[in-house]
Amino acid sequence: MAVPYIKDHIPSSTARNRRPGLILAPRFITIHNTANEKSTARNERAWLVNPSNTATASYHIVIDDREAIECIPTNEVSWHAGDGSGSNSGNRTSISIEICESGRYERTLENASDLVAAMLKERGWGVEALRRHHDWSGKICPRLMYDNGTWKGWYNFKDNVAAKLAVLNKQEETDMETRPAQPDPDPGEGGEQMLSAEDANKIILFLSAAYMSTEVAEARKEYNRLANELRKASGQLPQ
């Protein structure tokens, strides 16, 4: 991605239950606009912990023309979709991304499409996993993609993400073709069988229950280390 990706998680104790700590096994990515023409990604991160903020709403990632900030871990629930807490709600099934309206908006859109394409690639998803806030609760959001009801901006955004995802997938194919062949490991001679990403993520999901049940920093650090070892063993990027 062309801009820095910064993890700056809000505390679990943040007011209004904005980081509820509920486990999220996402199936979708939901796109929003911030509805604030002057607010940057850093401003939006600060708003989540501002004492004058009386809303419960929260979001995983916010992005502008200079940086992306992860405010809540993407394996925890955020309150963004406006459709409650049912098991099939957008809140309980999707990662939320807020696209800032300030600054160089076209540059921000490019940054957002880079980010979303990389997230889809990492998870093995296609653009069919993308959702608008509108899809969950009917709200006109992302509002700058509404275009008087035609949603032209939304379809253009999806097309841009699809094109970038195709490039990433093609690059992976090229890398595999040019990579020297490696002998298959022989378990009988001490070789290790790689985990599938699906199995690794299932194990991580089970482990996350232990993570959420403790506030001990060292225990949570060890959980994160083990989860990343599983991700690496299954060919995924650490988080």
Against a cut of 0.85, is the pTM above it?
no
What distance lies between CA 95 and its chain's CA centroid? Answer: 5
Instruction: Kindly report, residue by residue over 173-221, the tens digit of the pLDDT.
Output: 888 888 776 665 555 444 455 688 888 888 888 787 777 767 677 777 7
Q: How confident is the model at residue 192, as a pLDDT?
A: 54
CA 10 → CA 47, 61, 70, 135, 223, distances in Å? Answer: 10, 11, 9, 27, 19
CA 220 → CA 5, 174, 204, 212, 213, distances in Å? Answer: 22, 38, 13, 8, 10
Instruction: Kindly report, residue by residue over 217-228, the tens digit of the pLDDT.
Output: 777 778 888 888
Instruction: Kindly report, residue by residue over 122-164, the tens digit of the pLDDT.
Output: 999 999 999 999 999 999 999 999 999 999 999 999 999 999 9
Q: How confident is the model at residue 223, as a pLDDT?
A: 80
Q: What is the SS3 assignment for 184?
A: coil
What CATH number does domain 5-176 carry, 3.40.50.2300, 3.40.80.10, 3.40.50.300, 3.90.76.10? 3.40.80.10
